[in-house]
Chains A and B, each alone.
Chain A
Amino acid sequence: MTADRLEQRVVISGVGQSAIGRQVDRSGFQLTLDAIGAAVTDAGLTMDDIDGLSMFPGGGTASLPGYASGNLYEVQDALRVTTTWRQGVVEGMSLPFYGAAMAVATGQARHAVVWRTVKEGSAARQAGGRPAYGSTKPAAEGPLAWLLPVGMLSPVVQVAPYAARYMHSYGVTRAQLAWIPVTQRAWAALNPDAVYTKPLSVPEYLAGRMISTPISLYDCDVPCDGSTALVVSAVETAADLRAPVRVAAVAGVVDGRPSWEQWQDMGRVGYATAAALWNRTSLRPRDVDVAQLYDGFTIEAVWWLEALGFCGTGEAGDFVAGGTRIGPGGSLPLNTWGGQLSGGRLHAAFGHTAEAVRQLRGEAGARQVPGASVAAVTNAGGYEAGAALLTAW
């Protein structure tokens, strides 16, 4: 088969995760090795097959305690592999596997491992609450220099004006958007690795503690400890792989002004990336069987539902109402692992990608979407954004 897009020359061959929880009493480094080992085994490969390594974020950079973990070279040393390609990313990740896919597609590596390790659950515990963004540094640098000094001290507060503007522009209410966290909690109950599995009701959501209007506690993802690793392999190695999943299209466009407060239309996010994605494929929104849409906050899932065209702009409130479309048995099952809101803030769409792969393989257990053959995955929104379509082998 000829691949007419570069990303179609690669597959996602393995996914692996460490123990995941509010607090896991192992170092981030050990969690990383657990996840990588599991992912390589899951791919049907051995560690000696691995010749590319990529981590997010690279260089140990972090504005939040527990956000970054380790160093790529230490991981390579511990794995005892030889690499022909390495990458540590802060800007420009788009999607977890974007860089690895390009490296493998262009022959720089054959089997590349990508990972993300968080210890934000333990860090929040130590700090006595979710820490201020930027609290790892003495002064606010770059775009944060305009936010942290006035008290915009967390991603929650930075995103909150987007939710306020969206709800104002389109007349959408918290009672409508409640169905995103409520339905994802129902999915989480089917995922033994999810952080929160106890049922959540709309009244409980509406009574939740307000963090920064209109974002309440249940609109925020759950800081956790855990590591997720993915293996990206060249499509011609498929015969060596246990259960590969195809990459049909990947896009990541940064347009407009890449800082939280300067984004021109806070009611519409992700549209340029979505347009680029659909331009790279003949698949259409109606072809998508399952959606893993980034949900650092409820509003981010809203952005992607609308930007990707699953519903019209301003229509997400009606689309998610009652949870019938996005819940079990619905036409667009959303964040079937519980998402970051209930499954845990594994961050940067690593959890979302892992779940998409499991769904497309038919390995999602009690939460399996029958016959899932096309999955949408997105990351972030705002000033970094990535979207992909993965398809079953």
Chain B
Amino acid sequence: MTLAIAARGLEKRFGRVHALRGIDLEVPRGTTLAVLGPNGAGKSTLLRLLAGLSRASAGSLLVGEADPARARASDRRRVRAAIGYLGHATFLYPDLTARENLLFAARLHGVADARARADALLAQQGLEGAADRLARSFSRGMAQRLAIARSLVHDPAIVLLDEPFTGLDPAAGAALELELRRMHQEGRTLVLVTHELGRARGLADAAIVLARGRVVHRAATLAELDPLALEAGFRRGLERTA
């Protein structure tokens, strides 16, 4: 079993606040991990560490073959090239059109045929009709679809998604679900932060529930992704947070 992500004793502190404590994580290549938990549990912080946007205060982390924040510059670049990241913010430039935003992201990532890739992603997200509209004129849902396209522009092997269903209408949500299944079938590794237990069960091979920066429940196999067990773990997380 080749691991796409391996973390040992991962910690993140902001001053005296412990955002993450002792996180151990193993995500085999080609699988989907759901990260669940109440608000403030540390889910987004964990995802930022995995993306290399933030540096762990303690512990070890490997994404692909290197630590995305501590490795040599050339290794970090290789890790960044393998990661697609969708955060809470869209990373979009409001004064660029949808197509220009994707073109920029594609060029930044050195995608060979940037225009064709941008057009393909716009079509995939159902945004062809809005391709030449400025991003600032987009609704929350459209901006989220464009942000999803942006995170996939370089065809990453590891995709980190923080609440990707936020702001999407049911049709767009269902389309994203299909897209995530397709990426899973293609052998990509997905880490999906979500509040939605139902979606997590439908998409993930494994799940962890975080509360106050600790893993309070772990479902390592499909069998353990039992709805009742997951819900009990989530409730335990809520109680710890309260």
Partners in one complex: no
